[in-house]
Amino acid sequence: MARTTVTAHARLHFGFCNLSLAHERLYGSLGVGLDRPSVSVTAAPADAVGADHPTVREYADRAVELLGVDGADVSVEGGFPRHVGLGSGTQFALATLAAVARAHDRPVDVRDRAPDLGRGGRSGVGVATFEDGGIVLDVGHPTARFTTDRPAIGKWSVPPVAAQHAIPEDWRFLVVVPDTPAGPSGDAEDRSMRSTVESASSAPSDRLAGVILRRVLPAITERSAERFGAAVAEVGRLNGTWYADEQGGVYRPPAGELVAALDDDPSVYGAGQSSWGPAVYGVTDADRVAAARTAGRAALDAAGVDGRVFVAAGRNRGAERRND
């Protein structure tokens, strides 16, 4: 047994392949791992659970129960805001589970246990990037499994990965996080998603299939940030047509204004909203980082909101684990 630190990293969620009950498979998500921001969770064996951070305390309590150990002293360094579209919930949960397990020298399969922590129900991107990083496309779930009521915690499986590719070294991702209310989460998010699915048209799904097969995947293979940016931006726009009633438009305000401003800047190849937002991304490359940052700040000014702007590289490795 040892004091162990697990560091997990943010991800972007570009959208789903299908939200219509008319098709055979539901969801199927597309996203990418980022090298920043990150959160480090440190755990050491203890007789009970000790944690000052309320979110990590929740996950530590569950991890101790799942692993059948007495307890752990858990601390957090770094981190990123919750419910803004960067995947912090899944990364916090899995990092805590992995740290507590390693501190007690207990084997754990984070993919298998993620549902017991309430993670990975619809999208498998966060789990897959925690495992291996990269660009991820998962297969979603058979539509026949969809239920009107949310399944009980742990009564689902994380969608398997259909394709996982390394992110080219020169690609960069501009991230703009406006200082606006966080996106829906918990029961509110679940109600919004179920309402969206129950009324979703199948037309965007048919278009998305073509965009992913004929534009997204070839752009990755050709290592073209320009074509990839344009393709994932289209994925986001098509997803937004499903969410319009739930989020007040194709993008959740003020994301639409930010996306429009970034789309007009030549340093950004394509822009969109990550998950429910309010975070907005722009695809760029290493030669245009400074110009992209300037474009991000200008977009916030144009929308009349404050916020944070940063540029991240892609991450092609999973979470880091070390014994302290």
The pLDDT of residue 305: 97
Task: Identify the pLDDT of residue 176.
Answer: 98
Domain ranges of the chain: 4-323
With contact defined as beta carbons under 8 Å apart, do 9 and 92 qualify?
Answer: no
Tell me phi and psi for residue 285, to 5 degrees. -140, 175
- Residue 184: what pLDDT? 77
Using DSSP's 3-state secondary structure scheme, residue 293 falls into helix
165, 130 in Cβ contact below 8 A? no
Distance between CA 214 and CA 273 in Å, rounded? Answer: 22
Per-residue pLDDT at 154: 87
Best CA proximity match to 74, nearest among 89, 60, 64, 90: 60
What's the confidence (pLDDT) of residue 24?
A: 96
What DSSP string runs through 36-83?
A: EEEEEEEEEE-SSEEESSHHHHHHHHHHHHHHT-S-EEEEEEE---TT
Q: Which two tokens stand for residue 128?
A: 């897959």
Q: Tell me which residue of 23, 17, 11, 26 sits closest to 194, measured CA to CA.
A: 26
pLDDT in the model for residue 293: 98
Amino acid symbol at 18: N
Q: What is the structure's pLDDT at 49?
A: 96
pLDDT at residue number 2 = 86
The CATH class of 4-323 is alpha beta
Does residue 101 sit in helix, strand or coil? helix
10-residue mean pLDDT series, the chain (324 residues): 94 98 97 97 97 90 97 94 93 97 97 96 97 98 88 91 98 97 82 91 96 98 98 98 92 96 97 96 98 98 97 98 91
Which pLDDT score, from 0 to 100, does residue 155 have?
87
What is the pLDDT at residue 152?
87
Residue 205 tokens read as: 């799904």
